[in-house]
Amino acid sequence: MATPQEKLASSLEALKELQDKTNQLVIKGNDVLGDTHTKRLVNSGFLQEVLRGWYIPSRPGSEGDTTVWYASYWAFISSYAQSRFGDEWCLTPEASLSFHAGNTIIPKQLIIRSPKASNNITKLLFECSVLDITAALPSQIIKDENYGVHLYPIAEALVYCSPSFYKDSAMEAQTCLSQIADASEILSIVATNGNSARAGRLIGAFRQMGRETIAEDILRRMKRLGYDVRVENPFEQAPAIVLPQADPYSNRIRLMWESMRKDVLRIMPKAKPLLATELILQQIDDRYVKDSYHSLSIEGYRITEGLLERVRDGKWNPQENAKDQEYRNALAARGYYQSYQLVKETIKQILEGLPAGLAFDRYHQDWHFELFEPCVQANIIAPADLMGYRNHPVYIRGSRHTPLPERAVRDAMRTLCELMKEEENAIVRAILGHFVFVYIHPYMDGNGRTARFIMNSMLVTGGYDWVIIPTERREEYMRALEIASVENDITKFCEFIATLLK
């Protein structure tokens, strides 16, 4: 007779076989695994029930951790809606525009439109819910390539979204307006359906975006068809920058930077006169042990100051000491030391005249590589895994913010490099360089440590001290970054860093 451990192993094998075959994050347990395997995996903590019959993979002991749910959320929505409505469902125009603008933040309540809907609210995990409403679908449904959710086309969503969307979600509206190639995309909808009021709102929106040609084309042709068009500006204020017709994620980052930099300049303290180069470099050396202790501890490594001193003094040797070779924390400490030294050399170059934004562009990938070079030497990581940015999705533990899909990372990082080189103010480069970097999350690991190196390299070359974020304030630090990512509000992060600069 099989032991309980053998039975559990059998169920885990069935789950692995299903995942290897289908690559599914969302599982209709009884339908694909059977009742026995499903109950066993739920009871042991390897499956978590979203609602009756629907499950997501989990880890025993992770109850209350939102990470798996947030990572699975959009896959669940697609599978659940497809199961209930077939192909006849779609997000609202407003939610569709957010998706098209690169905003995939997990909402507390999502609305799904379908002619088959029953106007019910379905409660999900962690206070999330889905409201399905009986409503017509757009003329065409766009299927998102990353998550499979059904969306309005951008032009149709811009026409039919509520007027308040342009005020409440101006960044998303501006990002989507920038993706409209010419007036015909809008005219094919408003002229056919006689939407003169909606046409007037879009004409005003395009004018505010600096896209006069599209605005005038829509106005002229609507009048030629006999419509009385009254132009209105749906935005509360004009966008500060003119966006190119480009990747929506890059446009969103440009809008965030322009919007947030005003709060950075308002909140952050003024710079002090720069010290002599040798004094700044000595300050960086003096802070190594304390900085690396806290920075690595924030990331979950158990580091002692004694270990850090061994690493700095060259006494750590994985080739001759088997215990060190097995010690994951020692590998992290050695990598941090190597990266720290390279950051210090970069800072020296900036102080000697290399533009700070150009230094970031040129060296940030080298800083990241050095963090994990000891793992390469120990044959834990393949060298190819550290060449360039990530090629896989990544999620932030407990965060409603979903970092950019891998296909968008390169363009987004190119945009960040451009913004860092264009920005003249050191404190803006420091604060927004850190935030936007973790918002993009360009690597599978090491994003937080690299972001703090970015911030500090900009601070010390701009008349500020090197900032050490205490591990005791980790939750406050992470919460401030979450607010910036989810609510587009950088003030809490600015206020947090400002307390460390005093």
Distance CA 72, CA 117 (A): 23
Q: Which two tokens stand for residue 34?
A: 């059977």
Q: What is the pLDDT of residue 502?
A: 72
Q: What is the mean pLDDT of residues 278-296?
A: 92
Burial of 392 by CB count in 10 Å (0-12 exposed, 13-18 middle, 19+ buried)? Answer: exposed
Tell me the backbone φ, ψ of residue 127, rounded to 5 degrees: 65, 15
Q: Which two tokens stand for residue 397?
A: 């533990």
Q: What is the pLDDT of residue 147?
A: 87
Q: What is the pLDDT of residue 374?
A: 84
Confidence of residue 309 (pLDDT cuts 50, 70, 90): low
| Distant-in-sequence, close-in-space partners of 316: CB < 8 Å, separation ≥ 6 | 307, 310, 324, 330, 333, 334
HEC string of 313-339 equals: CCCCCCCCCHHHHCCHHHHHHHHHHHH
Q: What's the topology of domain 248-501?
A: Fic-like fold (1.10.3290)
Where do the structural domains in the chain lie, given as residue ranges?
Answer: 4-63, 153-245, 248-501
Q: What is the pLDDT of residue 430?
A: 98
CA 360 to chain centre: 20
Q: Is the pLDDT of residue 236 over 70?
A: yes
Report the candidate in 252, 97, 244 with the shortest Cα–Cα distance to residue 171: 252
Pairing assessment for the beta strands 142-143 and 150-151 based on DSSP bridges? antiparallel
The upper half-sphere exposure of residue 334, i.e. CA atoms within 13 Å in the direction of its Cβ, equals 20
Distance CA 432, CA 360 (A): 13
Q: Is the pLDDT of residue 315 over 70?
A: no
Q: What is the pLDDT of residue 325?
A: 42
Are 21 and 32 in contact by the 8 Å Cβ rule? The answer is no
Mean pLDDT computed over every residue of the chain = 88
Q: Is the pLDDT of residue 85 over 70?
A: yes
Q: Exposure string (b/e) for 463-474, b if CB count within 10 Å is 16 or more?
A: ebbbbbbebebe
Confidence of residue 322 (pLDDT cuts 50, 70, 90): very low
Are 485 and 436 in contact by the 8 Å Cβ rule? The answer is no
Confidence of residue 326 (pLDDT cuts 50, 70, 90): very low
Confidence of residue 431 (pLDDT cuts 50, 70, 90): very high
Give the range among 24-38, 200-214, 434-448 with minimum mean pLDDT: 24-38
Going by the DSSP 8-state scheme, the letter that residue 115 receives in this structure is T
Residue with tokens 């003249």: 424
Q: What is the pLDDT of residue 176?
A: 93
Q: What is the mean pLDDT of residues 262-285?
A: 95
Which residues is 49 bridged to in the sheet? 55
Q: What is the pLDDT of residue 145?
A: 86
Q: Is the pLDDT of residue 398 over 60?
A: yes
Q: What is the pLDDT of residue 146?
A: 84
Q: Is the pLDDT of residue 171 over 80?
A: yes
Q: What is the pLDDT of residue 192?
A: 81
Going by the DSSP 8-state scheme, the letter that residue 429 receives in this structure is H
Q: What is the mean pLDDT of residues 33-47?
A: 83
Q: Which two tokens stand for residue 423?
A: 């920005």
Q: What is the pLDDT of residue 317?
A: 56
Q: Which two tokens stand for residue 438?
A: 């973790």
Per-residue pLDDT of 245-268, as tens digits, reads 568 899 999 999 999 999 999 999
